[in-house]
Structure 1
Amino acid sequence: MTAGARVLDAGGLVLAPGFIDMHAHSDLAVLTDPEHLAKTTQGVTTEVLGQDGLSYAPADEATLDVLREQLAGWNGIPDIDWSWRSVGEYLDRVDQGAAVNVCYLVPQGTVRMLAVGTGNRPCSELELQRMRQLVDQGMREGAFGMSSGLTYVPGMYADTDELVALCEVVAAHGGFYAPHQRSYGRGALEAYAEVVEVARRSGAALHLTHATMNFAVNAGRGADLLALVDAALADGIDVTLDTYPYLPGSTTLSAVLPSWASAGGPVATLQRLEDPVQLAGIRHAVEVTGSDGCHGVIAEWETLEISGVRHDELTALVGRTIAQIAVDTGQPPFNVFVGILRRDRLGTTILQHVGHEENVRAVMAHPQHCGGSDGLLVGAKPHPRAWGTFPRYLGHYVREEGVLSLEECVAHLTSRPARRLGLTDRGVIKVGAAADLVLFDPSTVAAGATFAEPRRPAVGIPHVFVAGAPVITDGARTDALPGRALRK
């Protein structure tokens, strides 16, 4: 035994590769929060960032100004040195020391913001070539693929041909496309079919992010999604998908707005909310026809629960739905909705209670499935998936419900995502592999986080190692910062 080595008594524990979070929103947390307890305590050793088409690299100063405001509800606006501009420079910042490893996706919406702006219009040929160059540069600097947020401005303004052109660049580098597609509600299957077609035409591998079928229109339709995936696989398309093991979703309240109302960025959006004519159009889209920002579904005010606010004077709204606030204040729900957006300057986050248990179970059992938290780390009451996804899979869906065997579930959280990322030295335990490891108790492992207390650490995960360094020992965080940016 090496001098100074420590021997752990792992009796009764399972040794597994460190968990890989295929859909994380820790883009700023890995730079600002050295403990990063949300992920370290649940055994996550690698996170995939740059999700949903919106992150902070590549960027210029003007774009960063817009992104800081637009993504305040996702990541806050910490007081840090924002001096990076390229994907490579952002990854260099991660290399200065982080709790976990990081993989990055080039965010298509950010790329479009840089080359085209935030307006709702087709790109020119010159702008398309600029976007292709930006994606190419990001891939050369270490990105693993490209993400899209096709219900978020400005990525949603790209048509299928534009997405194909960008994914051709991704394919040339052996990367994958990770879209948040245009709908998870009405038109969800059509939206999935579009991104499958993008993969088919471009030759890029496809990873369906937070893949599920939500809202009342899709109850019991998880099998329809899986039939589409299986057909694509049979046709030779390389498809994988990730989900979180919860029913509610989480996003910003402003995401419910129609896309035209969000064109031009946050300042333009707030101006529209003050214009009576445009406000009438927003109301018609949200309450009558179904907003594309709300996945083509008419806003169901009882499903939209405030989970975080940017301004402290609105803290009392946290934990209440738009419908409840409307009853308590005697206002129409739409007026409550607009009033919060104005007062919080679009920085409000919500839980969206639109999921279905049968769909969640069906998708997680698919052999191409991986685990992803999609967890926002800011706000008074964020979704508990940020702290509880991986132990919930192992405790609730393995031990208590038997949806997956323990061995199969561990593969979903480790080797399968590693294979999608092309990480041959992660997601496995073998000589020569990186020592990203987790020890957990299969009889007690569980999510400590709840909707009432979303920041409680996991139960039954006493030891976590990143690159051989202990980051969790006997359930407590050490001061180790062994995480680094992994480059494709």
Structure 2
Amino acid sequence: MTATCDLIFRQAKIFDGTGATPHLADVAVTGERVVALGEKLPHQARTEIDAAGLALAPGFIDVHTHDDRAVIATDMAAKLSQGVTTVVVGNCGISLAPLRAKGEVVPPLDLIAKGEHELFERFADYFEAVEAAGTTVNVTCLVGHTTLRLATMDRLDRPATRAECARMRDLLDQALADGAIGLSTGLYYQPANAASTAEVIAVAEPLAKYSAIYTTHLRDEADHLLEAMEEAFAIGREADAPVVLSHHKATDPQNHGRTRVSLPIIEKRAREQPVTLDVYPYAASSTVLEAKRAGQVERILITWSKARPDLAGKTLDVIARELGVSREEAVAKLQPAGAVYFTMDEEDVRRVLQFPLTMVGSDGLPHDVRPHPRLWGTFPRVLGHYARDIGLFGMEEAVRRMTALPAARFGLAQRGVIRQGAYADLVLFDPETIQDKATFDDPTQLSAGIRSVYVNGSLAWSEGKAAGPRAGKVLRNRDLVAKNFTAAFA
């Protein structure tokens, strides 16, 4: 008897997410799920796709994003166009909740919220807003430690008091109960830099109760990288929570090559406690424009400026010459602003990418006027440039770093794999032509080779544009089958 289904891909080259050798097969989808996978399925479908010569993979999971507001305000073309079907928001210590509006939004929170009306007092309110807007991708969320500090402290230039830690702890507990999956810190940034290790440990106490995760933009990614790593490991141990080191790197020329030291340490710690990391495939970072970096970094590209939006896309040196001022004075005239910093070494990037525990995250800033190209190009760049062209690893391994590995790390049950019963988050692409096209000069170009993208069984991207219903979901902690996040690291 011939079975029926909604959608079937015929003779696709299947990268199932596990790292297994790709094979030709048909994949049948009904509703939100994959219902069959086989060499020649007898199914009849309302929609049949001849996928000969194309690759079919699980939708990519972007583990490090700042798409908190973008999932509400945009169609997420920057991510769908790369094959991304799930985003983790709330990274680097900043989230849109839980924070009652109370005046001007301060850096780095202004990277994701331009006004107080975009903040939410409770995570339940934020999740309701995402669902009311209709998200085109799946969304799961971390609670920002910086946001917690802003919600509870009158001054941010000191460690929190015991009472303030207790209040932050209560807010975190409520956010996790509402469905957030963990806590993130951005200890590098001024609003959180004064926080002590003891403060973070005290605030993080509820993580174990909810089997939640701890992710961190380290306190230092330059001269004191190793010490900052040890701080993160200590917080994870005390909180009994898995640790994710965000966008692992070694910045500034004197530290180039230091990943030769940091990665073996991570490997050793991962045998003792649940530890992993993510990386973006570029040798330049992007964040707020800081005066202290003006004299340290040779090449700085301005991505946005509230005071001088006309200067976005120019280097700091060019702007300083045009204004007839020093670099430091130019920074002051641009504030508040964002920038790309060219401070990393390509060999370090490749070394981190090759590391077996590494996941892929874009760390893109969707509201920048001239964003870092990682916002639009990260995942095709790994597949095309680093896997196919450079040969850092096979394409099946590249797909695993973007799918099954992050799904296990973040407890995203039945996602990140192509198998019967899994959610039909799928990307159809040409393995011969997939490639990032976004550049620092033209950062919003669509990548090549992505044919179509499906979110929970619905067509979300086709022919170079968003398509179909907004079929994404909010993935709450309580909805995830892998409640024991620690076991996912085994």
Shorter chain as denominator, the TM-score bin is 0.7 to 0.9
Q: Which runs of 5+ in 1 are unaligned?
A: 258-285, 287-293
- Equivalent position to 2:186, from 132, 149, 153: 149
CA distance in 2: counterparts of 1:386 and 1:322, whole angstroms: 21
Q: Which runs of 5+ in 2 are unaligned?
A: 7-44, 478-490
- Equivalent position to 2:419, from 409, 430, 448: 430
CA distance in 1: counterparts of 2:197 and 2:172, whole angstroms: 17
Structure 1 residue aligned with 2:284: 248
Would you say the 8 A contact 1:110–1:155 is kept in 2? no
Structure 2 residue aligned with 1:52: 92
Change (3 A) 1:48 1:464: same
Q: Does 1:40 align with 2:29?
A: no
Residues paired across the two proteins, number? 435
- Equivalent position to 1:459, from 433, 448, 451: 448
Change (3 A) 1:161 1:13: same
Q: Secondary structure at the match of 1:8?
A: strand
Would you say the 8 A contact 1:308–1:381 is kept in 2? yes
Q: Secondary structure at the match of 1:93?
A: helix
Structure 1 residue aligned with 2:333: 339
Change (3 A) 1:54 1:208: same
Would you say the 8 A contact 1:15–1:438 is kept in 2? yes
Change (3 A) 1:165 1:90: same
CA distance in 1: counterparts of 2:456 and 2:82, whole angstroms: 17
Change (3 A) 1:240 1:438: same
Structure 2 residue aligned with 1:397: 386
How is 1:209-248 mapped onto 2 (pairs within 5 angstroms)?
A: 209-234=246-271, 236-248=272-284
Would you say the 8 A contact 1:25–1:75 is kept in 2? yes
Further displaced range: 118-127 or 5-14: 118-127
Q: Does 1:134 align with 2:174?
A: no
Q: Deviations over 1:170-208 (max 9, x none)?
A: 122111111111111121111111111111222211001
**Which protein is richer in strand relative to its size?**
2
- Normalised by the length of structure 2, the TM-score is 0.85
Structure 1 residue aligned with 2:71: 30
Q: Does 1:99 align with 2:136?
A: yes
How is 1:268-283 mapped onto 2 (pairs within 5 angstroms)?
A: none
Structure 1 runs (4+) deviating above 3 angstroms are 69-73, 80-84, 327-330
Q: Secondary structure at the match of 2:214?
A: strand
Would you say the 8 A contact 2:245–2:278 is kept in 1? yes
Structure 1 residue aligned with 2:60: 19
Would you say the 8 A contact 1:117–1:154 is kept in 2? no
Letter in 1 for 2:50: D
C-alpha displacement at 1:14, in angstroms?
Answer: 1.1
- Equivalent position to 2:404, from 390, 412, 415: 415
C-alpha displacement at 1:252, in angstroms?
Answer: 0.9
- Equivalent position to 1:5, from 35, 46, 49: 46
Letter in 1 for 2:385: H
Would you say the 8 A contact 2:277–2:359 is kept in 1? yes
Q: Secondary structure at the match of 2:201?
A: helix
C-alpha displacement at 1:73, in angstroms?
Answer: 5.1
Q: Secondary structure at the match of 1:213?
A: coil
Q: Deviations over 1:104-125 (max 9, x none)?
A: 0011111111112343122222
Q: Does 1:307 align with 2:344?
A: no
CA distance in 1: counterparts of 2:227 and 2:233, whole angstroms: 10
C-alpha displacement at 1:82, in angstroms?
Answer: 4.3
Q: Secondary structure at the match of 1:162?
A: helix
C-alpha displacement at 1:452, in angstroms?
Answer: 1.3
Q: Deviations over 1:336-357 (max 9, x none)?
A: 222222xxxx1x1101001111
Change (3 A) 1:485 1:316: same
Would you say the 8 A contact 1:142–1:487 is kept in 2? yes
CA distance in 2: counterparts of 1:378 and 1:310, whole angstroms: 12
Change (3 A) 1:90 1:16: same
Would you say the 8 A contact 1:376–1:382 is kept in 2? yes
Would you say the 8 A contact 1:301–1:322 is kept in 2? no
Would you say the 8 A contact 2:245–2:276 is kept in 1? yes
Structure 2 residue aligned with 1:270: none
C-alpha displacement at 1:136, in angstroms?
Answer: 0.8
CA distance in 1: counterparts of 2:195 and 2:226, whole angstroms: 19
CA distance in 1: counterparts of 2:356 and 2:334, whole angstroms: 42
CA distance in 1: counterparts of 2:459 and 2:424, whole angstroms: 10
Would you say the 8 A contact 1:302–1:322 is kept in 2? no
C-alpha displacement at 1:83, in angstroms?
Answer: 7.4
Would you say the 8 A contact 1:42–1:461 is kept in 2? yes
Further displaced range: 374-383 or 2-11: 2-11
CA distance in 2: counterparts of 1:17 and 1:37, whole angstroms: 18
C-alpha displacement at 1:46, in angstroms?
Answer: 0.5
Tell me how large the CA RMSD over aligned residues is: 1.9
Would you say the 8 A contact 1:301–1:321 is kept in 2? no
Identity across matched positions, percent: 37
- Equivalent position to 1:361, from 334, 350, 367: 350
Q: Deviations over 1:269-306 (max 9, x none)?
A: xxxxxxxxxxxxxxxxx3xxxxxxx5xxx833532211
Change (3 A) 1:82 1:219: closer
- Normalised by the length of structure 1, the TM-score is 0.85
CA distance in 1: counterparts of 2:120 and 2:110, whole angstroms: 21
CA distance in 1: counterparts of 2:255 and 2:211, whole angstroms: 34
Structure 1 residue aligned with 2:29: none
Q: Does 1:170 align with 2:164?
A: no
Would you say the 8 A contact 1:301–1:323 is kept in 2? no
